């Protein structure tokens, strides 16, 4: 059953899975490489999950391979991107959203630099 | 034929060498009891850091499609091999290799970092590459080329790092 499309607020946290063992997008100083927010060719945008519509357990998929990082929706908006709720019904992921717009590597670097880690599973 | 047996040579005989691409060719040694010309071919010793990065790059060949859970392509062998060549060049010149990883489109990134300055070199699956220079995450330089971007920008990289 399809649910409503929500409006993403500036203060919404947008979650992104990041591989943390080889291949690893977390550098030695804890910062992320630009690749963590890179666009895959032919994709409409960068996939994220809206935090308030999901759980960390569901979003992380595999705690042995990934960690969760978040951006406030205001961050990509301030960089000229749109944050659009696009549920992924194929994968039963209502929280799915896309960062859309002109995404190039320098912009991916800014997104990666602004991302903060979610402490899950807790240290 | 080039003899690979370095142990045949007394240490004091190994007095000079010349560099040829990735190899060091030591001066020919004429044994006191033999007229056989012997060369010693030594693969230059890479730093432990460079070896670690190369080993990591080699391991990327094992990754399957969708290794990142977002549909990433399998890392490109062409890109991996080009990245390994760069790692060797950087190591020979004592430049600070910082990080490497595969991207979602099969590309490979090699990063250099010095204080607030970062250089990202992307090796694309089609053999091209792309260099970005950042200071405090702001892009100062962005150069794409279909061939030999590294060679054309080598002096710049050396100067910055």
Residue B99 to residue A23: CA distance in whole angstroms: 11
Show the tokens assigned to B67: 């290794």
For residue B23, what pLDDT is reported? Answer: 44
Residue B101 to residue B1: CA distance in whole angstroms: 39
Phi, psi of A71 (to 5 degrees): -125, 140
Do residues B72 and B135 share a domain? yes
End-to-end CA distance of chain B: 40
Q: Which of A62, A49, A53 is nearest to A21 (CA)?
A: A62
End-to-end CA distance of chain A: 37
What domain range includes position B35? 6-42
**Confidence check on the interface: ipTM exceeds 0.85, yes or no:** yes
3-state secondary structure of A118: coil
**A40 closest CB neighbour out of B105, B137, B142:** B105
In B, minimum Cα distance to A20 occurs at B68
For residue A23, what pLDDT is reported? Answer: 86
| B101/A24 CB distance under 8 A | yes
Do residues B26 and B58 share a domain? no
Q: pLDDT band for position B136 (50/70/90)?
A: very high
Q: Which residues of B touch A62 (CB under 8 A)?
A: 69
| B142/A106 CB distance under 8 A | yes
3-state secondary structure of B23: strand
Whether A75 shows a pLDDT value over 50: the answer reads yes
Do residues B36 and B60 share a domain? no
3-state secondary structure of A116: strand
Q: pLDDT band for position B1 (50/70/90)?
A: very low
**A109 closest CB neighbour out of B63, B103, B137:** B137
Do residues B52 and B74 share a domain? yes
- How does the average pLDDT of chain B come out, rounded? 77
Q: Which residues of B touch A110 (CB under 8 A)?
A: 137
Whether B157 shows a pLDDT value over 60: the answer reads yes
In A, minimum Cα distance to B139 occurs at A106
What CATH number is attached to the domain comprising B72?
A: 3.90.1150
| B137/A19 CB distance under 8 A | no
> pLDDT digits over A5-45, tens only?
999 999 999 999 999 988 899 999 999 999 999 999 989 99
Whether B14 shows a pLDDT value over 50: the answer reads no
Q: What is the CA radius of gyration of chain A?
A: 14
Whether B41 shows a pLDDT value over 80: the answer reads no
- B137 vs B27, residue with greater confidence: B137
Residue A123 to residue B8: CA distance in whole angstroms: 56
Q: Which residues of B touch A17 (CB under 8 A)?
A: 68-70
Q: How many domains does chain B have?
A: 2
Do residues B17 and B70 share a domain? no
A103, A46 contact by CB (below 8 A):
yes
Do residues B80 and B121 share a domain? yes
Q: Which residues pair with B112 in a beta bridge?
A: B97, B119
**B101 closest CB neighbour out of A23, A28, A109:** A23
| Segment holding B87, helix H or strand E | helix B77-92
Residue matched to tokens 């100083």: A29
Distance from CA of B102 to the nearest CA of A (A): 7
Show the tokens assigned to A89: 């019904």
| B130/A65 CB distance under 8 A | no
């Amino acid at each position: 059953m399809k649910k409503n499309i929500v409006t993403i607020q500036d203060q919404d946290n947008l979650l992104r899975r990041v591989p943390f063992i080889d291949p690893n997008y977390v550098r030695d100083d804890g910062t992320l490489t630009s690749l963590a927010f890179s666009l895959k060719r032919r994709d409409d945008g960068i996939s994220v999950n809206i935090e308030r519509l999901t759980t960390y357990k569901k979003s992380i998929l595999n705690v042995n391979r990934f960690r969760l990082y978040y951006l406030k929706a205001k961050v990509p908006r301030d960089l000229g991107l749109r944050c659009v709720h696009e549920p992924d019904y194929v994968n039963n992921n209502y929280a799915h959203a896309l960062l859309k717009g002109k995404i190039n590597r320098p912009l991916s670097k800014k997104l990666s630099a602004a991302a903060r880690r979610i402490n899950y599973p807790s240290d | 034929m080039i003899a690979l047996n370095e142990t045949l040579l007394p240490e004091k005989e190994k007095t000079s060498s010349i560099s040829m691409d990735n190899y060091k060719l030591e001066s020919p040694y004429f044994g006191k009891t033999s007229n056989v010309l012997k060369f010693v071919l030594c693969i230059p010793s890479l730093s432990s850091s460079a070896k670690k990065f190369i080993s990591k790059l080699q391991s990327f060949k094992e990754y399957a499609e969708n290794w990142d859970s977002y549909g990433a392509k399998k890392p490109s062998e062409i890109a991996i091999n080009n990245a390994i060549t760069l790692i060797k060049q950087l190591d020979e010149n004592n430049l600070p290799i910082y990080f490497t990883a595969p991207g979602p489109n099969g590309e490979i990134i090699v990063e250099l970092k010095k204080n607030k300055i970062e250089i990202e070199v992307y090796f694309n699956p089609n053999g091209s590459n792309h260099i970005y220079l950042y200071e405090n995450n702001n892009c100062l330089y962005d150069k794409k080329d279909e061939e030999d971007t590294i060679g054309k920008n080598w002096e710049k990289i050396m100067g910055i790092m």
